[in-house]
Amino acid sequence: MAAPKNAFKAALREGRFQLGLWAALGSPYAAEILSTSGYDWLLIDGEHGPNDMPMISAQIGALRHSPTHAMVRPPMGEAWLLKQLLDQGAQTFLIPMVESAEQAKALVRALRYPPHGIRGVGAGLGRASDFNRTPDYLATANDEICLIVQVESRAGFAAIDDIAAVEGVDGVFIGPSDLAADMGLLGDPGAPEVLATIGKIFERTKAHGKARGIMTVSLQQAEVYRDLGADFMAIGTDVNCLVSAVETLRRTFLGETVTEKRGGGY
Ligand SMILES: O=C(O)C(=O)C[C@H](O)[C@@H](O)CO
C-alpha cells in the first residue's frame, strides 16, 4: 500500500481548475464544516492564522477523508517545520515569500526523502503513513508531495524564471496583498500596476509548465484573475465569510447598502 494519492497535484497536472478557500480561524470544527462545502482545497494558514502544529494537524485530520484537499502554509519554509507537517499528513504546501531559485531548491529537498532530499524518516509516528500502516510509504511519498511557492515581491518577480524552472516546484502562487505592499501600493492589490505584474508572473509561470495560483476575497477580482490564467484560486477566507455574513445580516435587516473596496482591499 502506497502513500495517499495527491488529488490536488493530479488535478493541476491534468489542467483542471481548482477552487479553494482560506482557513485562518484555527478551528478544526470550521475546517470540518468547510470540508464538504464543495471546495477542491482549503488553505490552512499558519502564516497569518493562529495555527500552531497541533491545530494544523487537527485540521488536516478534519479534511482527511473529505473531497477537500488540505494545503498547508507554514509561517516560513523551514525544513524542521516542513518535516513535522509532512509527518502530520500534509502533502501540499504553500510557502510564503520565495525570492530565489536557491530558496526553491532547498524547499524541494526539505520535502523529499533521501537521496532526493533531506526529509527525516519518522512518518511511522504520524498520520502521513496512517500511523505506520502503509508499507510502501517511504518509497512512494515523494511523488505525492506538491510544492507551491509564493512569489509576492519585486525580488521574487525578478527571479520568476529561475524559480519556476526549479524541478520539484509544482506551482507559483501570487500573494496580491504582499506584492502590492512591496510595490508601494499597500492595501491596493487591485491597482493596475499590480495586475500587470500578476499577468507577467502568470505568463512566465505558464511558460515553465507550472500551475498559477492566487487568492482574493472579491468575486469581481476573481473573474479578473481567472481571465489572467489562474489554474487554482481561493475566492474567500473563513474569517471574511463569518464577518461579512454577520455584517450583511445586520445591514440587510436595517436596509443599509454594502460597498466593496477595489480588489477586495486585502
Ligand atoms: O499576500 C497575499 O495576498 C497573500 O499571501 C494572501 C494573504 O496572506 C491572505 O492571508 C489574505 O490576506
What angle is formed at CA 164 by the lines to CA 158 and CA 166, rounded to 5 degrees?
120
pLDDT for 262 equals 75
* Each residue's pLDDT tens digit, 46-103: 999 999 999 999 999 999 999 999 999 999 999 999 999 999 999 999 999 999 999 9
| Closest atom of ligand 1 relative to the 217 alpha carbon | 11
The preferred substitution site among 172, 215, 243 for testing ligand 1, maximizing ligand atoms within 8 Å of CB, is 215
46 lines ligand 1 (CB under 6 A): no
Is residue 263 in some structural domain? Answer: no
39 Cβ closer than 6 Å to some ligand 1 atom: no
The cell for 195 is 495586475
* Nearest ligand 1 atom to alpha carbon 45: 10
Q: What is the pLDDT of residue 103?
A: 98
Whole-number Å distance between alpha carbons of 263 and 266: 7
CA distance 120 to 141: 12
Percent of the chain with pLDDT over 70: 97
The whole-number pLDDT of residue 132 equals 96
Query: Residue 33: inside a domain, yes or no?
Result: yes
Residue 83: strand, helix, or coil: helix
Q: Is residue 257 part of a domain?
A: no
Check pocket membership of 88 for ligand 1, CB cut-off 6 A: no
Q: Pocket of ligand 1, candidates 21, 25, 45, 48: which has the most ligand atoms within 8 Å of its Cβ, to mutate?
A: 48
Structural domain includes residue 252: no
Cell of 113: 526523502
Residue 53 lies in a domain: yes
Residue 170 is assigned to a structural domain of this protein: yes
| pLDDT above 90 (res 263) | no
Cell of 252: 440587510
Q: Is 48 in the pocket of ligand 1 (CB under 6 A)?
A: yes
In this predicted complex, what is the ipTM? 0.94
If you measure from the C-alpha of residue 3 to the centroid of ligand 1, how many angstroms do you get, rounded to a whole number?
A: 30
Residue 132: domain span: 7-238
Report if residue 243 sits inside a domain. no
- What is the Cα–Cα distance from 128 to 183, expressed in whole angstroms? 39
Tally of structural domains, the chain: 1
Q: What are the helix (H) ranges across 25-122?
A: 28-34, 53-63, 79-87, 101-110
Ligand 1 center from residue 177 Cα (angstroms): 6
- Catalytic positions: 48
Q: pLDDT value at position 257?
A: 76
Task: Give the integer Cα–Cα distance in Å for 87 and 122.
Answer: 7
Q: Evaluate whether residue 245 is within a structural domain.
A: no
Spacing, Cα 11 to ligand 1 middle (Å): 23
CB of 263 closer than 6 A to ligand 1?
A: no
Instruction: Provide the CATH number for the domain around residue 58.
Output: 3.20.20.60
Task: Look at the chain and count its residues.
Answer: 266
- Per residue in 134-145, pLDDT (tens digit) is 999 999 999 999
Render pLDDT for 188-236 as a digit per residue (tens, 0 to 9): 999 999 999 999 999 999 999 999 999 999 999 999 999 999 999 999 9
Q: What is the pLDDT of residue 162?
A: 98
